Chains A and B, each alone.
Chain A
Amino acid sequence: MNKFFTAAVLVGAMGLSACTNPDRFGGAGGADGTAGGGGLTGPSTVDTTGLGGAGDPTSPQFFQQSVGDRVLFAVDQSTLTPEAQTILRGQATWLMTNSDYLAVIEGHADEQGTREYNVALGARRANAVREFLVSQGVPSTRIRTISYGKERPTATCADESCYSQNRRAVTVISIGTLG
């Protein structure tokens, strides 16, 4: 019983760990299959601080799951919808409360566009989010933007149900310096 419980907690933690930053790659944990070597299966990679973090309103998990770390856009648009603005007001409030955190806003596009244009479109979307957060009082020095164009889809099917999830701007928070 006890063993089972431990395993369940570990799996749950791994799930969280894998979800904390779906748009990141190449760092520890190894998106490169040749380098990572299945790091997630070893208990050494479990982030114990993540356990139960989603319930802590100052945790990154809370930011991602309860505040909402992403906003979605219409085709070829960078205008913030009312729903997006609601989420971003929450992000601004959270960022001003948790002033240790820095934010990198990642702009993304769906695959229905040419590569260069989508990089530029992602930059537009990321900037729309940045400007909104700054307008809500978040210091611009705590925010950087990056565009991934269509290089990092989060949903992989070939219809609007996936494309709508990929046209996004994700606010990735971390403690440290903006590189």
Chain B
Amino acid sequence: MMLKSFWIALGLAVLAVPALAQQPLRIEITEGVVEPLPFAVPQFEAETAGSEQVAADIAQLVREDLSGTGLFRAIPASAFISGVDSFAAPVAYADWRAINAQALVTGAVAVNGNQLIVKFRLYDVFSGAELGDGLQFAGTVDGWRRMGHKVADAVYSRITGEQGYFDSRVVFVAESGPKDNRLKRLAIMDYDGQNVQYLTDSAAIVLAPRFSPTGDRVLYTSYETGFPRINVLDVASVGRQQLTTQQGEMAFSPRFSRDGRQVVYSLANGGNTDLFITDLATGTHTQLTSAPSIETAPSFSPDGSQIVFESDRSGTQQLYIMPVTGGEPRRISFGDGRYGSPVWSPRGDMIAFTKQNAGRFHIGVMRTDGSEERLLSASQLDESPTWSPNGRVIMFTRETLGADGGPSLYSVDITGRNLQQVPVAGFASDAAWGPLQP
């Protein structure tokens, strides 16, 4: 019952509810202005001596994760009437109602050697009741950020009714050096730009990494042989090998199917670029398109039955959908300008894309039939969208131009709100957002 009262109807137009204290807690997310839900995360209790700092760090990370969505607003501790001295003590609801905290997250942290245990409870302040049961996560001290993300994911999920996306990783291309001799290497990081680790050196150009569905492998294009080829990299061992594709002069733009068993990619031969699928288990290669035009940037539908891609068969880059079994592609983009780099949403209902029009670049989304096109960003060079695992946020590359310019990663809600730069040191491009970690 309480859970239902907390439900947020994300992305749906819902009748506005007057903000009365007696009303069940809910957030209305519509095309209009959204008032973020005020929440409080008082200091987590340190249950063991010396765990005060990590307790404070985890509580702060929960605040940052939730506030970073734009759906929630952390009430500063300076406004608190009372703290929460003990995780086990009864909640003083009146003190939290008085400062209009609608959700309260309490927690406790214990450190034993390198083991870290984090407990939390979530309260619906105005209903005066706990929302869901308390949860405990056990991990390592080194992995404290993951524990904080797990708490935030659980809070997000309970309040919105949707899966979170904080305990997830992003693979991307880290760039350095001058624009006319840019060095590129694969890197992986947490969704919030922390814990950057490099997966390759910068000896050869690497492009557009793509996660496998479980996040254990990464496909990318590498020039290490001197020519563009597709590599598969094992994230845990950082071992890599070349994917055996259909023979061709250049292989690039790979992407896994949602079961991780197939790879769709582009192959260029004699100046013509077409789409192919390679089955990883059988080694079978299937040619999907055979037009004299450019067919590239393919992406599977979540059910694996269709592929969205870009083609200039009409004269300019446009988006098309076709069955994986072959057949006539159906054009879905008809607006002004050019459309490229389409990515099917995890929910299956939307396509994210890059649009070029009148000298500007945009990241946008549309339904799979091409309707309800909505542009989420605009700049001199935006491209390469990737979906958060819950399909609510898109990360993309924004590049500043000129000799000193370079790419950075940004994220934006699919409603077009909450545009923010992902804090990564140095230049970064071609992000691919991985799944929520188990």
Contact = CB atoms under 8 A, between A and B. Distances in A.
B205 A157 contact: no
Nearest to A111: B381
Interface string A68-104: 0000000010100000000000000000000000000
Nearest to B430: A115
A25 B204 CA distance: 8
Max count, chain B CB within 10 A of own CB: residue among A32, A120, A154:
A120
A46 interface: no
B228 to A, nearest CB: 7
Interface stretch (A37-45, A55-63, A142-150): A142-150
Nearest to B353: A114
B340 interface: yes
Most buried by A among B181, B208, B226, B383: B181
A116 B179 contact: no
Contact of A33 (B177, B405, B430): B177
Nearest to A149: B207
Interface in B294-319: 294, 296-297, 310, 312, 316-317
Contact of B294 (A111, A112, A121, A156): A121
Given A33-B177, A123-B273, A146-B226, A116 B208 contact: yes
Given A25-B181, A119-B228, A146-B228, A114 B297 contact: yes
Interface residues of B, number: 51
B302 to A, nearest CB: 21
Nearest to B293: A120
B297 A148 contact: no
Contacts of A147: 228, 250, 268
B271 A128 contact: yes
A21 to B, nearest CB: 12
Contacts of B181: 25, 31, 152
B271 A115 contact: no
Given A114-B384, A117-B297, A124-B271, A157 B228 contact: no
Contacts of B341: 114-116
A124 B294 contact: yes
A158 B402 contact: yes
A127 B384 contact: no
A148 B205 CA distance: 9
Interface string B237-258: 0000000000001101100000
A155 interface: yes
A137 interface: no
Contacts of B202: 32
A120 B296 contact: yes
Contacts, number: 125
B183 interface: yes
B44 to A, nearest CB: 42
Nearest to A34: B202
Interface string B162-191: 000000000000000111111110000000
A148 B221 CA distance: 11
A139 to B, nearest CB: 16
B297 A157 contact: no
A113 B356 contact: yes
A169 B207 CA distance: 20
A114 B270 CA distance: 21
Contacts of A151: 182, 184, 205, 207
Given A111-B381, A146-B226, A116 B296 contact: yes
A119 B182 contact: no
B295 to A, nearest CB: 8
Contact of B180 (A26, A76, A155): A155
A67 interface: no
B310 to A, nearest CB: 7
Interface string A167-179: 0000000000001
A76 B316 CA distance: 9
Nearest to B270: A127
B399 interface: yes
A25 B354 CA distance: 29
A10 B206 CA distance: 35
A162 B252 CA distance: 26
Given A32-B183, A158-B401, A115 B294 contact: no
B225 interface: yes
B49 interface: no
B180 A154 contact: yes
A156 B204 contact: no
A179 B296 contact: no
Contact of A117 (B203, B221, B225, B317): B317
Nearest 6 pairs between A and B by C-beta? A127-B271, A158-B401, A114-B340, A156-B403, A120-B273, A123-B268
Interface of A: 25-26, 31-33, 35, 76, 78, 111-117, 119-121, 123-128, 130-131, 144-149, 151-158, 179
6 contacts: A117-B294, A120-B266, A144-B249, A146-B226, A156-B180, A179-B226
